[in-house]
Structure 1
């Protein structure tokens, strides 16, 4: 099991937090539920083009969602990647904002993958004024829930997941005038050796 934590820091140290943060959620021994961590690995190895060397932080979360506060708390833009089981075809990718996820969960009496806990944690950030202005939730429908490695459907979805993340970060960076870049200007490595 891989778990990364970012400790709460004094105000001066937090001001140096990355402007954009990608949080990969999951468990490497949980089958496709580990996709967030595999996405981080692919991001770390990618040629990010104009995003390279910019203010982008990567963090993995294998524990409770309440640990998102120190990870996202000072970022202007954030992406959370996690596996879900909501009855769609395995490998289906949803790129939603928090409001869309809230609306979706209202119609589901019970869901097994902890999304309500994720929403609760994000709402705490929102109430404290610490939720990133631009937050994207990349939700990937899982096929397998046990074992090491990804199913073929999750593996096929992985490149699209990372491209979705990078496009969002590029749009956020361009919107904040930090850099004049356009989505799609990056090269992803081969998946061999990553999954």
Structure 2
């Protein structure tokens, strides 16, 4: 899979489209977000939040790297997590891959320099659903994590299988006291 994490499984047909067209589509999708979850302690999700972005604080993009995306995970609950330790990551990965035999090893992470941000949608009724973390923005003491859940287009041909989309990225460690706010938008691509 390419480093940018885009492929035809994301519900956006790449046939006949340049990668820049696809990136512009995800960029536009990430601009209209609504808060959905807040981060709790290490390895825990949080409560639903309605915090607006304050316009008077400096904000800047935070780099991140694709770690893993899958639609056949075993994560059955909608989940958003900031994973700060290897032990929590190994536990989460074993739950995410519980249905596989033999279970794959967890992707490697440099825990001295990085954290993992993880999003799972929970069960979806057919194939064609995906989720992708597409933007990280630091504003004051808050890191806003923007993700897009892509739904199959209307009248799309989908497989009859329950899927459980997940996406995980690595990002440089943040100082203590920084909180994470997850924003997840549902998007149906145009046909």
Is TM-score (shorter-chain normalized) higher than 0.5?
A: no
Hey, which of these two has a bigger chunk of strand by percent? 2
Which TM-score band (shorter chain)?
Answer: 0.3 to 0.5
